[in-house]
Amino acid sequence: MPKQSINRRQFMKNLSTTFMGIASSHLFKQLPVVHAEKKPPLEYRTLGRTGLKVTAVGMGVMNCSDPAVLLRAFDLGINFYDTADCYMGGRNEELVGRTFEGKRTKIFIQTKVHPGDEKKMRASVETSLRRLRTDYIDVLVWHNHHTAEEVSDPNLFHFMEKMKKEGKARFTGFSSHTRMAALLREAVKSNLHDVALVSYNFTHSKDLKEAIALAARAGIGVVAMKTQSGGYQKERMGGFNPHQAALKYVLRDQNVSTTVPGVTTIEQIEECAAVMGSAFTQINLHQLATYQAFLKGQVCTMCGGCVGECPQGVFHQDLMRLALYHKGYERAQLIQEVLENERLAQQIQPCLDCSACSVSCRNGVDIKKQITWVHTLMG
């Protein structure tokens, strides 16, 4: 049993009002993993007002460099793939384009563009189209919004409207890793977005769940990312594998249209695909309790509990994602790409100038220590 204890009754209450109490005091150290059959039963959901019928489990391609994994996902029937203009310096989009050439009408592609002047944004979209070897993007989203002002920015919206009218994007939206609940509520109010890509997993609060429900009722297709809360390799956890349980938890929420777990191997995509249509069980609940204990104090789970506490307005969760990428994903290239972000370099200085961090992490993460480590990475 992990040394760091958790309030299991409170944890279960946060997970779901359906489950009241844990039947056994034993936290499983190793539980069997259900592997996908050759063709798992598929579950389709509607992506909000877009009307697109997407598989409940999609694929986050961000860290994948093996076309065989994408082809296996396609073979399993998965039809929704998430990438971005910046992933792997553009090579990720190229991978998607090469792999699905000749299969374009059978899949949906979601990619991203960073806010900037119109010339720069247009060039980015044109480059994405070329890399993806397609004439259109199914879902084009703004990358990593932080504020309500960004979500409702008329200039960004007008650009997206142009992309739609020119046939370069069928539907548009935004992505966010922080302040997700507030941004979803703003999206409902502004009514400008077809899709919202947000971080959502078992560590998040009831407030986010309610905001997702509100967005879904308004016709916004909700795509959940960071569903496995760090994606720790099972080898790092003594063979324990909580990832199917974590994905099941998100899929229990019918207001989520699809999920894009980040996978890098055939085994991982098969495990994720096998979750479709399966029930969330008491064993899964125990698995997540064990995983919660493992994550405590490790890295930022982006639960959003500390959002708004920094007196200088620093988006420290963006900085701490680097620790997540290092300890969870174990992807040096991804860390390097994030480090090249000029805005992040500007964000870190106020943190370094503080003698002590006034932000309190609900999961026991030493934020000051983590950000000092990020600064070391930056050289």
- Read off the pLDDT of residues 243-263 as tens digits, 9 standing for 90 and up: 999 999 999 999 999 999 999
Residue 288 has pLDDT above 60, yes or no: yes
Q: 350 vs 134, which has greater pLDDT? A: 134
Within a domain: 3: no
Element (H, E) at 81: strand 80-82
Average pLDDT over residues 36-49: 84
Residue 15 pLDDT grade (very low, low, confident, very high; cuts 50, 70, 90) = low
Check whether residue 331 and residue 190 sit in a common domain.
Answer: no
CB count within 10 Å of CB 58 equals 26
Within a domain: 127: yes
Within a domain: 351: yes
Q: 4 vs 46, which has greater pLDDT? A: 46
Residue 9 pLDDT grade (very low, low, confident, very high; cuts 50, 70, 90) = low
Check whether residue 329 and residue 268 sit in a common domain.
Answer: no
Of the residues 261, 279, 297, the one at which a domain ends: 279
Which of 66-70, 255-259, 319-323, 357-361 bottoms out in mean pLDDT, i.e. has the lowest? 319-323
Tokens encoding 4? 């760091």
Check whether residue 85 and residue 201 sit in a common domain.
Answer: yes
Helix (H, G, I), strand (E, B) or coil at 145: coil
Within a domain: 1: no
Check whether residue 259 and residue 353 sit in a common domain.
Answer: no
Segments forming the whole domain that contains residue 331: 316-377
pLDDT at 343: 63
Q: Residue 288, exposed/middle/buried by CB under 10 A (0-12, 13-18, 19+)?
A: buried
pLDDT at 285: 94
Within a domain: 134: yes
pLDDT at 246: 95
* Cα–Cα distance for residue pair 360/309, rounded to 1 Å: 8
Tokens encoding 185? 């509520």
Residue 374 has pLDDT above 50, yes or no: yes
Place of tokens 């093996």: 66
Check whether residue 349 and residue 209 sit in a common domain.
Answer: no
pLDDT at 124: 97
Average pLDDT over residues 33-61: 86
Which of 199-208, 230-239, 256-265 bottoms out in mean pLDDT, i.e. has the lowest? 230-239
Average pLDDT over residues 57-77: 96
Q: 150 vs 12, which has greater pLDDT? A: 150
Within a domain: 207: yes
Within a domain: 301: no
DSSP secondary structure string for all residues of 14-45: HH-TT--S-S-SPPPSS-PPPPP-SSPPP-EE
Instruction: Convert 338-357 to b/e letters by CB count within 10 Å (16 or more is b).
Output: beeeeebeebbeebeeeeeb
pLDDT at 378: 65
Residue 357 pLDDT grade (very low, low, confident, very high; cuts 50, 70, 90) = confident
Residue 90 has pLDDT above 90, yes or no: yes
* Cα–Cα distance for residue pair 13/7, rounded to 1 Å: 10
pLDDT at 19: 37
Mean pLDDT of the chain: 83
Check whether residue 265 and residue 189 sit in a common domain.
Answer: yes
Of the residues 279, 298, 328, the one at which a domain ends: 279
Check whether residue 354 and residue 258 sit in a common domain.
Answer: no
Check whether residue 216 and residue 326 sit in a common domain.
Answer: no
Residue 129 pLDDT grade (very low, low, confident, very high; cuts 50, 70, 90) = very high
Report DSSP state, residue 159: H
Q: Residue 155, exposed/middle/buried by CB under 10 A (0-12, 13-18, 19+)?
A: exposed
Does the model's pTM come out above 0.95?
no
Of 355, 303, 377, nearest to 368 by C-alpha is: 355
Check whether residue 138 and residue 200 sit in a common domain.
Answer: yes
Which of 78-87, 252-261, 267-276, 362-371 bottoms out in mean pLDDT, i.e. has the lowest? 362-371
pLDDT at 40: 73
Of the residues 254, 279, 304, the one at which a domain ends: 279
Residue 77 has pLDDT above 90, yes or no: yes
Q: What is the CATH number of the domain that holds 132?
A: 3.20.20.100
pLDDT at 1: 41
Element (H, E) at 139: strand 137-142
Check whether residue 353 and residue 216 sit in a common domain.
Answer: no
* Cα–Cα distance for residue pair 93/136, rounded to 1 Å: 13
Within a domain: 38: no
Average pLDDT over residues 47-76: 97
Pairing between β-strand 53-55 and β-strand 137-142 as defined by DSSP bridges:
unpaired
Residue 287 has pLDDT above 60, yes or no: yes
Check whether residue 133 and residue 238 sit in a common domain.
Answer: yes
Residue 136 has pLDDT above 90, yes or no: yes
pLDDT at 22: 31
Helix (H, G, I), strand (E, B) or coil at 343: helix
Check whether residue 274 and residue 337 sit in a common domain.
Answer: no
Residue 356 has pLDDT above 90, yes or no: no
pLDDT at 184: 97
In the chain, how many domains are there?
Answer: 2
Angle (CA) 337-221-282 rounded to 5° is 85
